[in-house]
Amino acid sequence: MEVKKIMAALEAKHPGEKEYLQAVHEVLESIEEVYNQHPEFEKAKIVERIVEPDRIFTFRVTWIDDQGQVQTNLGYRVQFNSAIGPYKGGLRFHKAVNPSMLKFLGFEQTFKNALTTLPMGGGKGGSDFDPVGKSDSEIMRFCQAFMLELWHNIGPDQDVPAGDVGVGGREIGYMFGMYTKLARQYNTGVLTGKGATWGGSILRPEATGYGALYFAEHMLAKAGKDLKGKTIAVSGFGNVAWGASQKAKELGAKVIAISGPDGVCHVADGLTDEMIDYMLEMRASNRNKVEDMATKFPGKAVFTAGKKAWSIKCDIALPCAFQNELNGDDAKELLANGTWCVAEVSNMGCTPEAIKAFQDAGILFAPGKAVNAGGVATSGLEMTQNAMHLGWAGEEVDQKLHFIMESIHNACVKYGTQPNGKVDYVKGANIAGFMKVAQAMLEQGVI
Ligand code: 2IT
């Protein structure tokens, strides 16, 4: 396999699919050496097959807004790879959603899910529907119209969507309600991230953020460090940033910055429990403004318009919002301010330039597909509970989440330890995930 040749062919086939090509390039670069030691992979053309989704559904979603106007959006489901289990991955509602974004997310999801130790393939979906400024009734009508199209292509052993940016418990509820009405079956395991009284797993809302901090604990311990008293900058204020902030505080760190599309809030004394709770209200309001934190807690949170979380001096940076939200310039600023650990909690949160800057500087860096896998892992645990028609206590779920994050860290160390003894977490995560999916594809023949 030659990365350059494969990338050139993909670029010609999928021109302009920036995020998708970026995600594929990162994985291929990491696995090239190991792949070329396996002639059986080359013979079965595993790389050529693994970079293309199994199939993509595209559909029109029509709904009526509060003014009585007809609105049309595009909906998608990318069923990327089902070599190790049913398609599994979230739905993203965001105005910038397009096939490139969902293909990158589905591709990443395939390897992330392989890392979780659970039997889940990779999928992703969503819509260019923009939740910002929408009323609750509009959100409900859109979710129902979206499910009217999607329901036929999903199922507990077929494809199991969940939340992502713009899709949380509320949206999953509206979609599940419509699914049940259409299917005339109470298929609990068809979606994850459900409410706790109707098949949802305890801790699923917190799991992405909690898992990220468990992973960070292991990464820091391996480097002889810990979280106690460390300052953390977090981007975003959605579900992921909320869970990460909660756990960071619980483990003795101080979250001193959160950000949004409008700017950053500097919280010199660290987020309080009250402020962390308020993040949920900010998310539910659909205003998408981090300034609301400063308005609610004057004097404690200081808002600066147009700045990112990465402008605040911190020990640890946790991108928790969107792909490519931390670029080369941001990396320089963080490094100049003495940041010594960056853990991507968002999917592909850092640009290739930023990752290179962190790696060149020799600071701790771990990629999203390892760090944020606790979310989908807990979705996998929700599927298990649904299949057994029972629910576990929070302690049991948390214990399993701990075990999974430790296993992912171990896999990164196994496949990513360099001759100098340092761990390349990007390489480690990519190789560990790839090897599992590639081997399964090989054993299942050319299909
Ligand atoms: O990016 C992700 O892993 C998610 N949005 C969660 C997917 C899931 O199926 O829980």
Tens digit of each residue's pLDDT (9 = 90 or more) over 332-369: 999 999 999 999 999 999 999 999 999 999 999 999 99
Best mutation site among 77, 109, 110 for ligand 1 pocket (most ligand atoms within 8 Å of CB): 109
> 342: which strand partners?
317, 365
Query: Among residues 124, 308, 369, 400, which one is catalytic?
Result: 124
| Alpha helix stretches (DSSP H) within 273-372 | 273-284, 291-296, 328-336, 352-361, 368-371
pLDDT at residue 291 in the model: 98
pLDDT number for residue 32: 97
pLDDT tens digit sequence for 269-326? 999 999 999 999 999 999 999 999 999 999 999 999 999 999 999 999 999 999 999 9
What is the residue-averaged pLDDT of the chain? 98
Q: Is 369 in the pocket of ligand 1 (CB under 6 A)?
A: no
What's the CA gap between 139 and 50, in Å, rounded? 35
pLDDT at position 429 is 98
- Rounded Cα distance, 80 and 49, in Å: 10
Active site residue 124: yes
Find residue 155's DSSP bridge partners.
159
Q: Is the CB of 408 under 6 A from ligand 1?
A: no
Distance CA 134, CA 385 (A): 33
Locate the ligand 1 atom nearest the alpha carbon of residue 160 and give its number: 9
Give the long-range contacts of residues 327-330, CB within 8 A, separation 24 or more: 327/351, 327/353, 327/354, 328/353, 328/354, 328/356, 328/357, 330/354
Confidence of residue 370 (pLDDT cuts 50, 70, 90): very high
